[in-house]
Amino acid sequence: MAKGISNAVIRRLPRYYRYLDELLERGVDRISSGDLSNAMHITASQIRQDLNNFGGFGQQGYGYNVQYLHDEIGKILGLDHTHNIIVIGMGNLGQAISRYMHFDNLGFKMVGFFDVNPDLKGKMIRDIPVSMMDELPEFVKTHQVDIAALTLPRANATQAAEMVIDLGIKSIWNFALVDLDVPEDVTVQNVHLSDSLMQLSYNIMQKK
Amino acid sequence: MAKGISNAVIRRLPRYYRYLDELLERGVDRISSGDLSNAMHITASQIRQDLNNFGGFGQQGYGYNVQYLHDEIGKILGLDHTHNIIVIGMGNLGQAISRYMHFDNLGFKMVGFFDVNPDLKGKMIRDIPVSMMDELPEFVKTHQVDIAALTLPRANATQAAEMVIDLGIKSIWNFALVDLDVPEDVTVQNVHLSDSLMQLSYNIMQKK
């Protein structure tokens, strides 16, 4: 497998995948590197460079076979596997994430929902009842869990992260406003919504 | 104001701000560059370099005054201004974003909520009734709107973006799974949740 790929490339891969998915929906079989470049606002040489990290997928004079490139990038992204997700923190954001159907199409499967609030116990989301946090250890013993999404306040996120790591879950999708300290074999992907708003605000100020 | 600052620096600024905010909450007055570096997992020289883009803020042998650095980074990020936000698309995600109280602390103020679904008309969120999209032009005439958050399906997002741009809104916080084509004077900040999941999945595969 590819090693030492830069974060910038890894951030672009989902965009390629998404765009190729759109092309497939529209029934497009192949695309020239020039057209791909124009549509994605990435130079053709950057695209070639990005894809060469994984062995390249184009053919001189033919361009890219959309289905093939789509599937190959999907494999690089691990989308040919199913990833089981639990969501911890069933507030507004947690419930929104839990109900987001598009993730299913990508092989991400919501398998459990957890909170500490007893009012939420048994509430049905996608035909799965919300469980209490103290049920998590038993749940993990009986279910394959690949990813824990943390959608809870900063104050509780660190503790929840420690718990899921202790239980052997190796991947955290972190929405809490805290940068988690985790062992090296644990992968964290952050979605800090307010960081994103602050970046937007920065860019607004620059344009003024 | 600072020009030509790299995206990597701009992505780190909210993290600095967030961490300094935490320090203030804990009553910490000043911090050495070494301690800041350890806590944030950024080298001291990187921190110096980042902050030097804006004139630097440390004092040799004293470190950083937390309140001062916090406020200065806040100003760089434009957080000394109020930004009025409307949210378009009152599905689960839209409602979660609309209700997220933390944004208030950063000067982002939710001022209007829009959807096309008549069932949602008048539904109260934060004491503001949900309006229909055809009320947006009138709303923009009578309210200052700085940012439009788009939390709607890909198919509707492009059209909604065109509408808000036509109405003179210059900043879009885009959650829809589409890369928007916008005029140069319009700023877009994307939050592509499934891109983020795909990056996580990529990193999971690399560790296997």
Q: Is B34 exposed, middle or buried (CB count within 10 Å of its CB: 0-12, 13-18, 19+)?
A: exposed
Q: Do A207 and B187 touch (CB under 8 A)?
A: yes
Partner residue opposite B196 with nearest CB, options A95, A191, A203: A191
- Side-chain half-sphere exposure of A116, counting CA atoms within 13 A: 8
Asked if B90 contacts B114 with a C-beta cutoff of 8 angstroms, the reply is yes
Token pair, residue A170, equals 């190796």
Q: Counting one residue from A and one from B, how many pairs have CB atoms under 8 Å apart?
A: 184
Asked if B146 contacts B68 with a C-beta cutoff of 8 angstroms, the reply is no
pTM value? 0.90
Residue B207: its chain A contacts at CB < 8 A? Answer: 170, 185, 187
Q: Phi and psi for B127 in degrees, rounded to 5?
A: 65, 20
In single-letter form, the type of residue at position B117 comes to: N
Query: How many whole angstroms separate alpha carbon A187 and alpha carbon A28?
Result: 35
Q: Tell me what ipTM this predicted complex has.
A: 0.91
Query: How many whole angstroms separate alpha carbon A89 and alpha carbon A132?
Result: 10
pLDDT tens-place string over residues B163-205: 999 999 999 999 998 889 999 999 999 999 999 999 999 999 9
Asked if A194 contacts A177 with a C-beta cutoff of 8 angstroms, the reply is yes
Neighbours of B129 (CB within 10 A): 12
Distance from A103 to chain B by nearest Cα, in Å? 6
Apex B103 CA angle, B98 and B104, nearest 5: 100
Residue B3: its chain A contacts at CB < 8 A? Answer: 206
pLDDT tens-place string over residues B39-75: 888 898 898 888 888 877 777 777 889 999 999 999 9
pLDDT tens-place string over residues B101-143: 889 989 999 999 999 999 999 999 999 999 999 999 999 999 9
